[in-house]
Structure 1
Amino acid sequence: MTERSGKCLCGAIRYTLKGAPRAITACHCSHCQKQSGSVFSLNLVMRDTDFEVTGETRVFVDTGDSGDPVMRHFCGTCGAPIYATIAAAPGKIVLKAGTLDDLAGLRPQTEIYTEHAVAWLEPIAGTKRYPRHI
């Protein structure tokens, strides 16, 4: 995989991905819906060693299904969500795909928390669906 880059809406936070995603997932959980302001969030699960960020993010500490903290990083200037780190998944980051400069070639492999999916949204062709997380 070639490097990919991305940024927040105002450009204060920039990042580079140095490796391939471990997974590409459409998450329908209520927290991703609220954070994204949409009906799901397209996320790339990356090794934290393959992610380099510049600029200082602000962090909202959320609680995941496991009861463990989820640190949601966002731009303090424009408010764009960038990535999350999950205490239950050390060494990984969950990147908001909409912040990438180019989404070419990226397609979700799974849909999670489909029990929260809106009724009118058809399953994404070719994905495996899970009512909760994997």
Structure 2
Amino acid sequence: MNTRTASCSCGQLTITTQADPLRVSVCHCLACQRRTGSVFGAQARFNRNFVTISGESNQYIRVGDEGSKITFNFCPNCGATVHYAVEGYDEESIAIPVGAFADPSFPVPAVSVYEDRMHSWVILPADIQHTA
């Protein structure tokens, strides 16, 4: 079990985890591409019981491809998303963008979703679980 801290760009909004991630994944959906400004989103899910959130956040709610609401919590100062939750998907967990940890030794993603929208030049780990 590792203690890790994620934060926004200015450091005002932070999350400390006291457990290893339940799952690390990458998402190639167009909404994640727009949200991150990159070609995919990388996120880690943690059990909420092992997470401490500090600082203020604003929320943005969008409806996903399957109709569920996703609530993104971002820093009101710098705008960086620091955590989010998907309605109806394991209410006991919280998703944190991997980049918010700024830790190159963070665990490798095990799952890749919405690969039908993946950029052709992206190369994923050989043993990753693939979904359309």
- Is residue 46 of structure 1 aligned with residue 46 of structure 2? yes
Q: Supply the distance in 2 between the matched residues of 1:100 and 1:7 (Cα, whole angstroms).
A: 7
The equivalent of 2:111 in structure 1 is 110
Cα pair 1:114 1:129 within 8 Å, conserved: yes
Amino acid at match of 1:94: A
Amino acid at match of 1:5: T
Deviation per CA, 1:2-59: give whole Å up to 9, x if none: 2111211000101101111111001111111110000011100111112111001110
Q: What secondary structure does 2:99 align onto?
A: helix
Structure-1-length-normalised TM-score: 0.91
Q: What secondary structure does 2:33 align onto?
A: helix
Q: Supply the distance in 1 between the matched residues of 2:26 and 2:51 (Cα, whole angstroms).
A: 20
Structure-2-length-normalised TM-score: 0.93
Identity of aligned residues (%): 25
Deviation per CA, 1:33-91: give whole Å up to 9, x if none: 11000001110011111211100111001112331211011111111111111111111
Amino acid at match of 2:131: Y
Work out the number of aligned pairs and report it. Answer: 131
Shift of 1:105: 4.3
Instruction: Give RMSD over aligned pairs.
Output: 1.3
Matches within 5 A, 1:1-134: 1-89=1-89, 90-131=91-132
Structure 2 unaligned runs (5+)? none
